[in-house]
């Protein structure tokens, strides 16, 4: 799925959810974090029919993230904690029925912006999905979490973020802050223009990337 281009060379940069079903995105406000999620959502709408993929979009800041994939692919647009807490058990039940059998239906992309607003020490609404994360490739689950610098060390202890890291989920570090090391390993800190960062592979290799964005879309 297209994510952007290599800085300076304009070679296409992709993420492959069939090989690596999860993705972590780290970026401060204005670095392109939300824009990266919109790029992923647009890619879902282009590459899958609604029968092949659906999106559970979690957007507490109500930035209209859901509009990037369109209504046909949208399972739900979650804008409040109570709404997410009510949905997750149903998601778990539906995906659990896929274990160990041939199943038909859409892949489910759970796309969450500002995960640091969603997960708190007293409220971890995605925790019921923990047992399904290692089985994601078999049951059609894809999780994309975005969070802001300053929360990386905290969320390194969050069970879901920690599970994704332990499963060697690729990471997109925008702006490449010192805090990125908490989730993506040792990265050199450097200031980068908006929309630029490193796509860190499961092997810890960083590839410079310019996220696909326009001036009115950057967030």
Q: What does the alpha-carbon distance between residue 125 and residue 202 come to, in Å, rounded to a whole number?
A: 26
Q: What CATH number does the domain located at 2-211 have?
A: 3.40.50.300
pLDDT at site 63: 83
29: annotated binding-site residue? Answer: yes
pLDDT at site 20: 93
105: annotated binding-site residue? Answer: no
pLDDT at site 156: 63
6: annotated binding-site residue? Answer: no
pLDDT at site 128: 95
Closest CA to 209 of 170, 169, 165, 174: 174
Q: pTM (2 decimals)?
A: 0.89
pLDDT at site 186: 47
pLDDT at 212 over 60: yes
pLDDT at site 217: 47
Residue 215 pLDDT level (bands cut at 50, 70, 90) = very low
- Distances in Å between the alpha carbon of 108 and those of 43, 72, 92, 111, 141? 14, 13, 11, 9, 5
27: annotated binding-site residue? Answer: yes
pLDDT in tens, 91-131: 999 999 999 889 999 999 999 999 988 988 788 899 999 99
107: annotated binding-site residue? Answer: no
Q: What does the alpha-carbon distance between residue 142 and residue 136 come to, in Å, rounded to a whole number?
A: 6
pLDDT at 219 over 60: no
Q: What does the alpha-carbon distance between residue 153 and residue 183 come to, in Å, rounded to a whole number?
A: 8
The domain limits of the chain are: 2-211
3-state secondary structure the chain: CEEEECCCCCCEEECCCCCCCEEEEECCCCCCHHHHHHHHHHHHHHHCCCCCEEEEEECCCCCCHHHHCCCCCEEEEECCHHHHHHHHHHHHHHHHCCCCCCCCCCEEEEEECCHHHHCECCECCCHHHHHHHHHHHHHCEEEEEEECCCCHHHHCCCHHHHHHHHCCCCEEEECCCHHHHHHHCCCCCCCCCCCEEEEECCCCCEEEEEECCCCCCCC
pLDDT at site 216: 39
pLDDT at site 144: 96
pLDDT in tens, 123-180: 889 999 999 999 999 999 999 999 887 655 555 678 898 899 889 899 898 876 544 5
31: annotated binding-site residue? Answer: yes
pLDDT in tens, 21-69: 999 998 888 888 889 999 999 999 999 999 999 999 999 988 888 889 9
pLDDT at 218 over 50: no
């Amino acid at each position: 799925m297209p994510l952007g281009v290599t800085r300076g060379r304009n070679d296409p940069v992709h993420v492959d959810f069939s090989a690596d079903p999860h993705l972590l995105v780290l970026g401060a406000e204005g670095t392109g974090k939300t824009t990266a999620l919109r790029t992923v959502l647009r890619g879902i709408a282009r590459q899958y029919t609604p029968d092949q993929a659906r999106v559970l979009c979690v957007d507490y800041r109500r930035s209209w993230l859901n509009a990037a994939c369109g209504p046909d692919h949208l399972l739900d647009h979650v804008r409040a904690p109570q709404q997410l807490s009510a949905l997750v058990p149903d998601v778990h039940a539906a995906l659990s029925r896929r274990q160990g059998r041939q199943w038909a239906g859409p892949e489910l992309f759970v796309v969450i912006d500002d995960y640091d607003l969603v997960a708190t020490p007293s409220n971890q609404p995605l925790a019921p999905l923990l047992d399904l994360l290692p089985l994601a490739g078999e049951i059609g689950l894809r999780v994309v979490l975005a969070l802001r610098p300053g929360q990386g060390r905290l969320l390194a202890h969050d069970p879901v973020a920690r599970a994704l890291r332990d499963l060697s989920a690729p990471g997109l570090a925008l702006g490449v802050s010192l805090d990125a090391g908490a989730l993506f390993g040792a990265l050199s800190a450097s200031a980068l223009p908006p929309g630029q960062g490193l796509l860190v592979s499961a092997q810890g290799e960083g590839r410079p990337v310019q996220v696909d964005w326009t001036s009115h879309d950057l967030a």
